[in-house]
Amino acid sequence: MNTLRLASAILLMGSSLGFCGKVVNVYLWGDDIPKKIIHRFERESGVTVHLSSYDSSETMYTKLSASSNNTYDVVMPSGNYVQRMQRRGLLAKMDHRRLPNLKNLDAMFLHTNYDPGNQYSIPLTWGSSGIFYNETQIHHAPTKWTQLWRKAYTRRLLLLDDAREIFSMAMMGLGYSPNDTNPAHIDKAYKQLQKLIPNIKLFANDGLQAMLIDGDANIGVVWNSDAYKAHTENSAIRYIYPKEGFIIWIDNLAITSNAPHVKEAYEFINFMLKPSISAEIGATRGLAITNKRGKALLPPSVRNNITIYPTKKTLKRGHFQQDVGEETNTLYMNYWQALKLQF
């Protein structure tokens, strides 16, 4: 046993010796921040970035909850998760004085309903989920969520693998708000979704672009950023904002409460708030950016693209996704799992 301890001590020392320099551990959603930008940050600040990414907010939440929360410095939760994580004490209160580039943000995002005053989170990108379709295969373009229930779409739908998003679709189809907490309404939405089962082909959160471009799925529900990226390679892919309404989500940068490298974390976030950096994210990822100055730097083809930046009129129909509290969350999740088991 002693030799084992000695060996592990040596290994630990060895692994930490390699990083005498400044370091920041970053845990991001997928590929949202391009590697080029990470490298640029490393060059300009002298801080080494250890990048990890996750494919679902739930996974991120569980991993942070189970570990001692000092593995990562910067995380990228969406709005509804900010509330959940803050309740669990996973996020640190932010000192805005250390983020001078905060002034670049669009005022619309400075007082979000999930984190008034941006105490725990800094909005970076936002987007929506709506209906996509391939116009060479689908001849009657859908305009409403309820049209997805049409018999013509049997076994054709690709749906996001996200409980809240898909339930929101059913809720809005029934005329309720996607942030509704009424159990009776949620039950009705569940019964609606049960009727949709014959139409559903698969649930997926990643690799969506290839599915859309190659025509493995011709109609369904995706995030606008994926639809935009697919459209650039296959112009038959169309994205619409349904008439009954749609969800707007915001992805934020936050610092964990036990972060070992707080100074570097602030540097990282401040860097991402630079207009030129934000513009680069917005130009390549099909994501709408929260940075006012950055948006002005975007190429017109991106800035005026209604898939990424819907018109003000369209935005009026949008609902910002909010946390609905643990009890309702559990209810949604139970229904979601029951739904998935019925195939």
Partner 1 sequence: MKSKIQRLYLFIIYFLLYFPILILVIFSVNKTKYSLVWHGFSSQWYQVLLNDVEIWSAFFNSAVLGITASCIATGLGLLGCMHLFIHPHKKFRSLRNLLLLLIIIPDIVLGISLLVFFNVTNLPLGFVSLLIAHITFCLPFVILTIESRLQTLDPNLYFCALDLGASQMAALSKIFLPLLWPAILSAALLSFTISFDDVVTSYFVSGSDFSILPLTIYSLVRSGVTPELNALCTITLIISIIPILIVHKLTRKKT
Partner 2 sequence: MKNKSLSIKLLYTWFLCFAFIPLLLIVVTSFLSKDAVHLVKLPFTLNNYAVLFTPLFMKIFIRSLLISTITTLVCLLLAYPFSYILIKSKIKTHLLLMIMIPFWTSSLVRTYALLSLLKGNGILNTLLIKIHFITNPLNLLYTNFAVISGLVYSLFPFMVLPIFNNMERFDFKIMEAARDLGAGPLDIFFRVFLPNTKKGIISGCILVFLPAMTLFYIPNILGGARSFMIGNLIQSEFLEMSDWPQGSATSIGLILIVLIFVYFVRFRGKKQ
Residues that bind partner 2 (CB under 8 A): 1, 56, 58-59, 61-62, 65-66, 87-88, 163, 200-203, 207, 214-216, 326-327, 329-330, 333-334, 336-338, 340-343
Nearest distance from C-beta of residue 183 to partner 1, angstroms: 30
Question: Judged by CB, which is closer to partner 2: 65, or 143?
Answer: 65
Nearest distance from C-beta of residue 30 to partner 1, angstroms: 5
For residue 97, the number of C-alpha atoms closer than 13 Å in the C-beta half-sphere is 0
Query: For residues 80 and 155, what is the distance between their CA atoms, to the nearest angstrom?
Result: 31
Question: Judged by CB, which is closer to partner 2: 156, or 293?
Answer: 156
| φ and ψ of 22, to 5 deg | -75, 145
Asked if 241 is part of the footprint of partner 1 (rule: CB under 8 A), the reply reads no
Per DSSP, helices labelled H in the chain are 2-17, 35-45, 57-66, 79-87, 163-173, 183-196, 208-213, 224-233, 262-272, 275-285, 292-296, 300-303, 312-315, 326-340
Nearest distance from C-beta of residue 35 to partner 2, angstroms: 19
Closest CA to 243 of 144, 133, 140: 144
Nearest distance from C-beta of residue 17 to partner 2, angstroms: 26
**Of these partners, partner 2, partner 1, none, which one is at the site of residue 72 (CB under 5 to 8 Å by kind)?**
partner 1
Q: Which of 1, 13, 21, 68 binds partner 1 (CB under 8 A)?
A: 68
Question: Judged by CB, which is closer to partner 2: 12, or 108?
Answer: 12
Question: Judged by CB, which is closer to partner 1: 13, or 107?
Answer: 13
Nearest distance from C-beta of residue 122 to partner 1, angstroms: 20
Question: Judged by CB, which is closer to partner 1: 69, or 290?
Answer: 69
Per DSSP, helices labelled H in 108-182 are 163-173
Burial of 261 (0-12, 13-18, 19+ CB in 10 A): buried
Query: For residues 138 and 77, what is the distance between their CA atoms, to the nearest angstrom?
Result: 35
Q: Which of 44, 95, 135, 233 binds partner 1 (CB under 8 A)?
A: 233
Amino acid at 268: F
| φ and ψ of 114, to 5 deg | -95, -15
**DSSP bridge partners of 256:** 91
Asked if 52 is part of the footprint of partner 1 (rule: CB under 8 A), the reply reads yes
Asked if 66 is part of the footprint of partner 1 (rule: CB under 8 A), the reply reads yes
Strands 23-29 and 74-75: parallel
180: how many CB neighbours lie within 10 A of its CB? Answer: 19
Residue span 183-212 as binding mask against partner 1, x where in contact by CB under 8 A, dash where not: -----------------------xx-xx--
**Of these partners, partner 2, partner 1, none, which one is at the site of residue 50 (CB under 5 to 8 Å by kind)?**
partner 1
**DSSP bridge partners of 26:** 51, 74
- For partner 1 (CB under 8 A), the number of binding residues is 30
Interface residues with partner 1 (CB under 8 A) are: 8, 11-12, 15, 19, 23, 25, 27, 30-31, 35, 50-55, 63, 66-68, 71-72, 206-207, 209-210, 213-214, 233
